[in-house]
Amino acid sequence: MGKFIYDGNIKVDFEDRLLAHLQAVIMAKVRRGESFPFSWKDDISTGGGRTTVYIHPNVSLVFKYHGSRSPQLSPAWLHALTYNANSGRGLYVVPEPDESAPRESTRREEMVFREVPNEQMPEPART
């Protein structure tokens, strides 16, 4: 498990592969000077609920990985996360799309992404 640290005081655990995808999306937007909300569900062990932080170019962000190898990035997952980050709702975690399945639609307005249910991906734990 890697750790996302926001402004030095909010620390959330994410699986390394997911964290690498989040980092790529977040840093691309920050480099362009774009601000946006980033939301996640909190682990029940920390009280549950949801946290949203406002990502902007002047905030301190740290992406700390447990493993030493950089995971291979999925273009489809990056696209899905970027699509959400560019929406009014902002960035939130979605399951990794199956890149081997044929796409039913390539038009952006028809793309629908959903949050990962608790049974599919462990909740991030705030520390």
Residue 101: band (very low, low, confident or very high) from pLDDT cuts 50, 70, 90: low
pTM equals: 0.78
Q: Which whole-number Å values give the CA distances from 83 to 25, 27, 30, 48, 74, in the listed order?
A: 10, 14, 15, 26, 14
Dihedral sign (CA 34, 75, 61, 48): positive
Task: Kindly provide the residue ranges of all beta strands, DSSP E only, lying in the chain, ordered along the sequence.
Answer: 2-6, 10-14, 36-41, 50-55, 61-64, 91-92
Distance of CA 92 to the CA centre of its chain: 5
- Does the pLDDT at position 119 exceed 60? no
Q: Where are the domains of the chain?
A: 2-110
Q: What is the pLDDT of residues 7-39, one digit of tens each?
A: 999 999 999 999 999 999 999 999 999 999 999
Q: What is the pLDDT of residues 47-89, one digit of tens each?
A: 889 999 999 999 999 999 998 888 999 999 999 999 999 999 9
